[in-house]
C-alpha cells in the first residue's frame, strides 16, 4: 500500500521561497521516494532519530536528500502517511544539525 505524502504548513511555506523548477523537483522526488517504504534507509534517505529541531515532529525524524536540499519528515505507519515537516537548503560547510535548526 502506498503512503500518502503530506506537507506541513512550515514545509509548504519553505517551498514557496524556493525557485519553481527546484520546488517541482523537490515535490516530485519527495512523492516518488517516500510513497513506498519511507522508513527504510536508502542512499538518499537516512534516519536521524530524536534530535533537537526548530520544528515539531514525531520521532524518529528522517532526512531525504534531493541535491542541495534536505527534506525532513516522519511517518505514521498505521495511517500510511508521511508528514514532511521542513524543506531546507544545505549549503557547503553546514552540518545537518545546522540546517535543522535554521
Listed by start position, the domains of the chain span 4-100
Q: What is the residue whose three cell numbers read 534516519?
A: 47
Largest distance between two CA atoms of the chain: 39
pLDDT, tens digit (0-9, with 9 covering 90-100), for 62-76: 999 999 999 999 999
Q: What is the residue whose three cell numbers read 519553481?
A: 20
Pick the CATH number of 4-100 from 3.40.50.720, 3.30.2310.20, 2.60.120.560, 3.40.50.450: 3.30.2310.20
State the Cα–Cα distance between residues 55 and 37, nearest whole angstrom.
Answer: 23
Mean pLDDT of the chain: 96
pLDDT, tens digit (0-9, with 9 covering 90-100), for 45-61: 999 999 999 999 999 99
For the whole model, what pTM was predicted? 0.95
Amino acid at each position: 500500500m502506498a503512503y500518502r505524502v503530506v506537507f506541513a504548513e512550515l514545509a509548504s511555506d519553505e517551498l514557496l521561497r524556493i525557485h519553481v523548477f527546484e520546488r517541482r523537483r523537490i515535490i516530485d522526488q519527495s512523492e516518488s521516494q517516500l510513497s513506498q517504504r519511507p522508513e527504510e534507509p536508502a542512499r538518499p534517505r537516512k534516519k536521524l532519530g530524536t534530535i533537537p529541531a526548530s520544528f515539531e515532529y514525531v520521532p524518529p525524524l528522517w532526512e531525504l536528500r534531493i541535491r542541495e536540499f534536505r527534506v525532513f519528515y516522519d511517518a505514521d505507519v498505521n495511517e500510511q502517511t508521511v508528514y514532511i515537516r521542513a524543506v531546507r537548503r544545505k549549503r557547503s560547510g553546514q552540518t545537518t544539525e545546522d540546517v535543522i535548526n535554521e
